[in-house]
Amino acid sequence: MEAVLVAPDQPLSLGEVESPAVGSSDVLIEVRAAGLNRADLMQRAGFYPPPPGASEILGLEAAGVVVEVGADVTEWKAGDRVCALLSGGGYAEYAAADEGSCLPIPEAMSFTDAVCFPEAMMTVWANVFMRSALAKGESFLQHGGTSGIGVMGIQMARHMGASTIFATAGSDEKVQVCLDLGAAHAINYRNDDFVEIVKANGGADVILDMVGGDYIQRNIDAANLNGRICNIAYQNGFEASVNFGPVLMKRLVLTATTLRARTAAEKRVIRDAVATNFWNAVTNGSIRPVLDQSFAMADAEAAHKALETGGHIGKIALTR
């Protein structure tokens, strides 16, 4: 099959590789769209290798048509349109996914729109709702509000009845997008101090952060009593000088997780929760995809450059 290949110090390019093996609980997807994530950039740079047994090909989510199913698959059949969370392999003509990591694509939805959902929604569920237990009536701060995860975090928190949603973003245009998606307070972090604004408006019960670095202390300052702060990345660094006094006095929970290396059974639990709590909202359009732009698979190098610049709003996708 055709796939995007990584070579040291070379631009991404298309090449021929073996098609993926289909396990007994797997479906083989003819990929029509693949989602880009910052984890792809990290893997390409050698900092985020795939888990044992996963495809070395880049790509943590795909949307397409099922063309083959494993012997034990009961949920899907050939011809079904699905979007899927992957451990790797999305930048290719075909990708294998565990049946418990797939979701049905709504009838009227395009493949490029559908690929906006699986990784982002499952990440938000696993961290905001499962790990940090955001409950109806609590306040929520989403950093990176116009990232692929951020646009879903805002919408999912709104759908589940968060009382006040805060979001940070890096431009006035992005601030407006956060407000349009459901944030009550969107903060341009280049101009304003998110800690001051969050505290002035009741504080945050749950914070989802991918920045790290100096944000670690600032999140602690913005959090309410019994607040939960969850990191899914540390783009500004893994190390910081932290005053843990407020953690003690506020009884805070600091946590961090990754999704990629979880077992198929764990991912199925997360998928099931997303399907139960949110998929009707996706189908009826009240939770919507936010697609910045798409590139042909052959232009994966240009797509990575667009992702690296950080100016995008929502998802960047590859299409076939």
Contacts of 17 (CB under 8 A, 6+ apart): 1, 2, 3, 5, 57, 92
Percent of the chain with pLDDT over 70: 100
Q: Please count the other Cβ atoms lying within 10 Å of the Cβ belonging to residue 50.
A: 19
d(CA 214, CA 205): 19
The whole-number pLDDT of residue 127 equals 98
The whole-number pLDDT of residue 278 equals 98
What is the residue-averaged pLDDT of the chain?
A: 97
Torsion sign (Cα): 202, 205, 210, 211: positive
The whole-number pLDDT of residue 32 equals 98
Confidence class of residue 178 from pLDDT cuts 50, 70 and 90?
A: very high
Taking residues 213-225, what's their average pLDDT? 98
Contact 91, 3 (CB under 8 A): yes
The whole-number pLDDT of residue 156 equals 98
Torsion sign (Cα): 264, 269, 271, 275: positive
DSSP annotation of 50 reads: P
Confidence class of residue 50 from pLDDT cuts 50, 70 and 90?
A: very high
Confidence class of residue 30 from pLDDT cuts 50, 70 and 90?
A: very high
74 in helix, strand or coil?
Answer: coil
Domains of the chain: 2-117+260-319 (3.90.180.10), 120-256 (3.40.50.720)
DSSP annotation of 314 reads: S
Q: Write the DSSP assignment of 115-163 as a string of letters.
A: TTSHHHHHHHIIIIIIIS---TT-EEEESSTTSHHHHHHHHHHHHTT-S
Contact 111, 319 (CB under 8 A): yes
C-alpha closest to that of 197 among 225, 228, 218? 218
Confidence class of residue 219 from pLDDT cuts 50, 70 and 90?
A: very high
pLDDT in tens, 269-320: 999 999 999 999 999 999 999 999 999 999 999 999 999 998 999 999 999 9
Contact 102, 82 (CB under 8 A): yes
The whole-number pLDDT of residue 197 equals 98
Q: Please count the other Cβ atoms lying within 10 Å of the Cβ belonging to residue 309.
A: 8
pLDDT in tens, 68-124: 999 999 999 999 999 999 999 999 999 999 999 999 999 999 999 999 999 999 999
Torsion sign (Cα): 31, 37, 40, 41: positive
Taking residues 146-171, what's their average pLDDT? 98
Taking residues 231-245, what's their average pLDDT? 96
The whole-number pLDDT of residue 81 equals 98
Residue 219 tokens, joined = 């999140």
- Residue with tokens 């997303």, as numbered in its chain: 274
Residue 36 tokens, joined = 């880009």
- Give kind and range of the element (H or E) at residue 224: strand 223-231
Amino acid at 313: I
Confidence class of residue 11 from pLDDT cuts 50, 70 and 90?
A: very high
